[in-house]
Structure 1
Amino acid sequence: MEISISNYWRKKIFRLNKDSKVYISKENANFLPEYIKEDVINNDLKFSVGIPESCEEQYDDGLIIFEFVTEEYPDIKSYSGNNPDVQ
């Protein structure tokens, strides 16, 4: 959720080409929102964010879906619906 509402990350994700991903880890922690930065660094969290072709969860029409996948457990996924007019 924190990445979905971060202006910096939203711009990067909305600009992705099909089948591309943004990778988030302690290597780019300087760009993380302060309230999650420490958790990412201390726990060495790594995940990718992309725009999936399909999603089992339901969202309002017109929203762009972001798919979050953990590197260590790729079967664990989370989604968010995002208004492309808000960047």
Structure 2
Amino acid sequence: MLFVIFREKKGGFIKMNEKSLYTLYLENIDDVALDISQTAYWRKKLFEKGYEQKILISKEDIEHIPEYIRFIFTELDLMFLVSKVRYSPEFFDKGSIIFKFEALPFPSIFRFTGN
């Protein structure tokens, strides 16, 4: 897959176009949702939070991100929000605690996990 990268004229920094960034989030949200929802550190944080209280996951939290998905945060610089929610359009076992993962710049990209 080709990602278009361009240099912004005034700022002098490299920035991916929006479509490429959207695609990166689509390609990586499933791995992030699965792996973060199974990590003890994040599970504890989410279980301690109230419902609908969002937690940012970014490269600032790298020591708590499983090694096999760290590149998503360090190399791709993606950020996600995760929260404990009461309802999901997806079916989970009765009594499951549901986590919602959202792509920070694209709220239309989201996944649920049942825990």
TM-score (norm 1): 0.88
Q: 1:21 deviation in Å?
A: 1.3
The RMSD of aligned alpha carbons is 1.0
Q: 1:25 deviation in Å?
A: 0.5
Q: Deviations over 1:1-47 (max 9, x none)?
A: 00011011100011112331111001111110101112211111101
Structure 2 residue runs without a partner (length 5+): 1-33
Say which structure is richer in helix: 2
Structure 1 residue runs without a partner (length 5+): 83-87
- Rg: which structure is higher? 2
TM-score (norm 2): 0.68
Task: Identify which of 51, 57, 64 aligns with 1:24.
Answer: 57
Give structure 1 regions of 4+ aligned residues with deviation exceeding 6 angstroms: none
Higher relative contact order (CA 8 A, sep 6+): 1
The one-letter amino acid of 1:3's match is I
- How high is the sequence identity, in percent, across the aligned residues? 39
Equivalent pairs counted in the alignment come to: 82
